[in-house]
Chain A
Amino acid sequence: MDTITLNEQSGVKDGVDQDTVDAVREVGGKYKHGWSTDIEMDYAPKGLTPDIVRLISKNNDEPEWLTEWRLAAYDRWLTKTEPTWAMVDYPEIDFQDQYYYARPKSMAVKPKSLDEVDPKLLATYAKLGIPLKEQMILAGIEGAENAPAEGRKVAVDAVFDSVSLGTTFQDELKKAGVIFCSISEAVREHPELVKKYLGTVVPVNDNFYATLNSAVFSDGSFVYVPPGVRCPMELSTYFRINAENTGQFERTLIIADKGSYVSYLEGCTAPQRDESQLHAAVVEIIIEEDAEVKYSTVQNWYPGDENGKGGIYNFVTKRADCRGDRAKVMWTQVETGSAVTWKYPSCILRGDDSQGEFYSIAIANNMQQADTGTKMIHLGKRTKSRIVSKGISAGKAQNTYRGLVSMHPKAKESRNYTQCDSLLIGSECGAHTVPYIEVKNNSSRVEHEATTSKVDDDQLFYCRSRGMDEEEAVALVVNGFCKDVLQALPMEFAMEAQALVAISLEGSVG
């Protein structure tokens, strides 16, 4: 029909969409990304020693300063203890019983054509929903960059276990002056940038997991947007943990120079395994004067089964530093996976009139535990922050929002608004809100609103009386509850996120 206006189309798409429901049906109650790829891997020996740190550094062809930087981090890590303040409970992690480095064997030598690529690796990309051309590029096919692109334009970097497999649309980005590559490549090609910024937002000794990451980070993404450049496409990284007993420690470094803009998406999945797996990433974002960064995450690591067996332990340190005046950052996260989530994407609002926003959906079902939130550190004058957190707990899950809003003495006339809503499905789960507020000047204002509610039986009955089954009804109501956050996501991600909301709540009712 050609008379439909765009507006009306989006009217159908807002809230839950048929796709959500289809997605639920398709997976038939199973974790969608639970497949594992049987690919021959090269492992470094288990455990963490200075030799392993050196090996990782050597495999990445790193310069001496970085090797030393890692080793210093390793030394610091030995003196640190795991934090215990979060409301999460998990068996002790044996850090010596982990592999710290794994990479697909087939990546040792670059393939010349698709035929030479391990078909299983290609199948992996396909399952991740990466378009074919981008699959070719990721597989390292020579000349793939010049093949015609289909559909959407999103530059992709895929990190498979410890190794970045390649980045798409390099040429086009280069024309715009944007650098988007793996961090190991950045270390080789742009050492001055890496050296200037690495560890300046999340210092080596920041916290136990960040310190560990600094010692052993294997790969991750690097973005640099030069002054005045609006990045011509969305940048996206897919992280996937595949190998067993392997920790993933990726490191992402994003620099938005003066007056630039970039939107960055991060997607994460992992196979279904009985053993828990460790993930400790660090993301650092530097935003200069008048620049803006949007960072969106859809985290769908394997959450473990309904009895709490397996799943990813996700300990992540993400921080953005609004260094220049009028710098802006927006974190949007949809956290549906992981057995344990420990994650507080934060904003340092250093420049005057800088702005930080944090939009979060955290879903915990079955035995999942999520302790997540944000820190808004107001240092500059007239800085603004906004926090919208939607926590959904089902099964026996525990979901904690932990947030800090800090107004420093010099942050005159600054503002924060926090809205924190929790939704409970069933009677065995828990929701907790832990807001810390510090205001050290008298011209700033902090507003905090929090609600906790149960999913409303009358709403569910209303939906069901119109023909939706219970899971559909819950998905619809929960997607409605999350609407404010879903709207903050880029369109393509919003659809995926809605579907995920539905999938992760499966089995939470009835």
Chain B
Amino acid sequence: MLSIKNLHVKLEDEDKQILKGVNLEVEAGKVHAIMGPNGSGKSTLSYVLSGKGGYEVTDGTAKLEGVDLLDMEPEERAAAGLFLAFQYPVEIPGVGNMTFLRTAVNAQRKARGEEEMSASEFLKVVRAKAKDLQIDAEMLKRPVNMGFSGGEKKRNEILQMAMLEPKMCILDETDSGLDVDAMKLVADGVNALRSEGRGFLVITHYQRLLDHIKPDVVHIMSDGRIIKSGGPELALDVEHNGYADIKAEVA
């Protein structure tokens, strides 16, 4: 599904290398988790994959189902099936959440040559999905992420993901700032989307999310590289012992 080879990324305006040769293979139907210390490059990886400006790829490739992602515009990547749930979801004043969602859904449909979703069909679907995530009608009407609590923003990201039905979902610290109940809701939302044809890359600092979303593979990222990969037990190891031992082991 997602295939990253030897990815090197630096800041566009500065001589600062952030990703120093990332290799990662996420198969369809699998959930991969990435853990790693603050500043190790996890968000950068997710941004570069989804096409954010300000970064320069100096080496390596990233492909979605064999198609080169790095040549595409952000919206083309989205239409191809890539989705990023942001670590810090962006506020857009004056734009209704519902309008935003509908514009996004129809933009992707158009880009794929599919028929647009009618207003009534859209409403029906969005109401059902919002209900599952306990997002009330009021939140759908409010401007995108404006005045949402941290947890509401994260649930809103998952609602977008549920509406857009991407093939490859990247979740960047979607669990941060969630209370216990919200964590369960988000995890249920993600689990509901788990399917044979869909891959997940879940960036997190905590085991507790992985209690709910059982990963197939866990990677440890440090200083711009994946330094260790393993099964779910690797996350437990980090939870108990931190990163020091793993770093030392690799060094």
User: Residue B95 contacts which of A12, A458, A479 (CB distance < 8 angstroms)?
Assistant: A479
Interface of chain A residues 322 through 370 with chain B (CB within 8 A):
none
State in angstroms the CA–CA spacing of A8 and B126 once bound together. 11
State in angstroms the CA–CA spacing of A457 and B102 once bound together. 21
B122 within 8 A of A: yes
B195 within 8 A of A: no
User: Residue B120 contacts which of A4, A14, A468, A481 (CB distance < 8 angstroms)?
Assistant: A4
B124 within 8 A of A: yes
State in angstroms the CA–CA spacing of A157 and B50 once bound together. 51
State in angstroms the CA–CA spacing of A18 and B106 once bound together. 8
User: Residue B99 contacts which of A14, A457, A458 (CB distance < 8 angstroms)?
Assistant: A14
State in angstroms the CA–CA spacing of A4 and B118 once bound together. 13
The smallest C-beta distance from B165 to any residue of chain A, in angstroms, reads: 12
State in angstroms the CA–CA spacing of A456 and B86 once bound together. 16
Stretch binding the partner chain, chosen from B58-66, B72-80, B228-236: B72-80
> Is the pair B107, A477 in contact by a Cβ cutoff of 8 Å?
no
A466 within 8 A of B: yes
Known: A18-B106, A464-B51, A480-B143. A469 touches B75 (CB 8 A): yes
State in angstroms the CA–CA spacing of A296 and B133 once bound together. 41
User: Residue B84 contacts which of A18, A465, A482, A484 (CB distance < 8 angstroms)?
Assistant: A465
State in angstroms the CA–CA spacing of A479 and B84 once bound together. 24
The smallest C-beta distance from B91 to any residue of chain A, in angstroms, reads: 8
User: Residue B108 contacts which of A13, A16, A467, A484 (CB distance < 8 angstroms)?
Assistant: A467
Interface of chain B residues 87 through 142 with chain A (CB within 8 A):
89-96, 98-100, 102-108, 111, 116, 119-124, 137, 140-141
> Is the pair B102, A18 in contact by a Cβ cutoff of 8 Å?
yes
Known: A480-B92, A482-B94. A466 touches B120 (CB 8 A): no
State in angstroms the CA–CA spacing of A462 and B137 once bound together. 22
**Among B52, B124, B164: residue with most chain A CB under 10 A:** B52
State in angstroms the CA–CA spacing of A468 and B109 once bound together. 10
Interface of chain A residues 438 through 460 with chain B (CB within 8 A):
456-459
A472 within 8 A of B: yes
State in angstroms the CA–CA spacing of A477 and B90 once bound together. 12
B160 within 8 A of A: yes
Nearest-CB residue, chain A, relative to B163: A466
* B-contact bits for A252-284, CB 8 A (1 contact / 0 none): 000000000000000000000000000000000
A21 within 8 A of B: yes
Please give, as numbers and ranges, the residues of chain B lying within 8 Å of A461 by CB-CB distance: 51-53, 74, 90
Nearest-CB residue, chain B, relative to A480: B94
The smallest C-beta distance from A172 to any residue of chain B, in angstroms, reads: 32
Please give, as numbers and ranges, the residues of chain A lying within 8 Å of B90 by CB-CB distance: 456, 458-459, 461-462
Known: A15-B96, A479-B94. A466 touches B53 (CB 8 A): no
> Is the pair B94, A18 in contact by a Cβ cutoff of 8 Å?
no
> Is the pair B94, A466 in contact by a Cβ cutoff of 8 Å?
no
Per the CB 8 Å criterion, the residue count for chain B at the interface is: 45
Nearest-CB residue, chain B, relative to A17: B99
Interface of chain A residues 182 through 235 with chain B (CB within 8 A):
none
The smallest C-beta distance from B107 to any residue of chain A, in angstroms, reads: 4
Nearest-CB residue, chain A, relative to B105: A467
User: Residue A476 contacts which of B86, B92, B111, B122 (CB distance < 8 angstroms)?
Assistant: B92
> Is the pair B99, A15 in contact by a Cβ cutoff of 8 Å?
yes
> Is the pair A18, B104 in contact by a Cβ cutoff of 8 Å?
no
> Is the pair A464, B75 in contact by a Cβ cutoff of 8 Å?
yes
* Majority-rule SS of B interface residues: helix
* B-contact bits for A478-490, CB 8 A (1 contact / 0 none): 0111111000000
A146 within 8 A of B: no
* B-contact bits for A294-310, CB 8 A (1 contact / 0 none): 00000000000000000
Known: A457-B53, A462-B86. A467 touches B96 (CB 8 A): no
Known: A17-B99, A467-B78. A481 touches B94 (CB 8 A): yes
> Is the pair B141, A472 in contact by a Cβ cutoff of 8 Å?
no
> Is the pair B123, A466 in contact by a Cβ cutoff of 8 Å?
no
State in angstroms the CA–CA spacing of A468 and B78 once bound together. 9
> Is the pair A464, B102 in contact by a Cβ cutoff of 8 Å?
no
State in angstroms the CA–CA spacing of A479 and B95 once bound together. 7
Known: A464-B75, A472-B107. A480 touches B93 (CB 8 A): yes
> Is the pair B99, A12 in contact by a Cβ cutoff of 8 Å?
yes
State in angstroms the CA–CA spacing of A476 and B91 once bound together. 13
A9 within 8 A of B: yes
Interface of chain B residues 24 through 62 with chain A (CB within 8 A):
50-53
Please give, as numbers and ranges, the residues of chain A lying within 8 Å of B106 by CB-CB distance: 18, 21
A143 within 8 A of B: no
> Is the pair A18, B73 in contact by a Cβ cutoff of 8 Å?
no
A148 within 8 A of B: no
> Is the pair B108, A15 in contact by a Cβ cutoff of 8 Å?
no
The smallest C-beta distance from B106 to any residue of chain A, in angstroms, reads: 6
> Is the pair B78, A1 in contact by a Cβ cutoff of 8 Å?
no
Please give, as numbers and ranges, the residues of chain A lying within 8 Å of B143 by CB-CB distance: 15, 480
The smallest C-beta distance from B144 to any residue of chain A, in angstroms, reads: 8
Please give, as numbers and ranges, the residues of chain B lying within 8 Å of A459 by CB-CB distance: 90-92
State in angstroms the CA–CA spacing of A176 and B223 once bound together. 78
Known: A11-B98, A12-B99, A467-B164. A481 touches B123 (CB 8 A): no
> Is the pair B102, A12 in contact by a Cβ cutoff of 8 Å?
yes
Residue numbers of A with Cβ under 8 A of B are 1, 4, 8-9, 11-18, 21, 456-459, 461-470, 472, 476-477, 479-484
The 6 closest A-B pairs by CB, nearest first: A480-B94, A483-B94, A480-B95, A1-B120, A467-B108, A466-B104
Residue numbers of B with Cβ under 8 A of A are 50-53, 73-75, 77-79, 83-84, 86, 89-96, 98-100, 102-108, 111, 116, 119-124, 137, 140-141, 143, 160, 164
With A11-B141, A12-B99, A461-B74 already in contact, 16 other A-B pairs whose C-beta atoms are closer than 8 Å: A1-B120, A11-B99, A12-B122, A15-B94, A16-B103, A21-B106, A462-B92, A463-B104, A464-B75, A465-B74, A465-B75, A465-B77, A467-B78, A479-B94, A480-B93, A483-B94
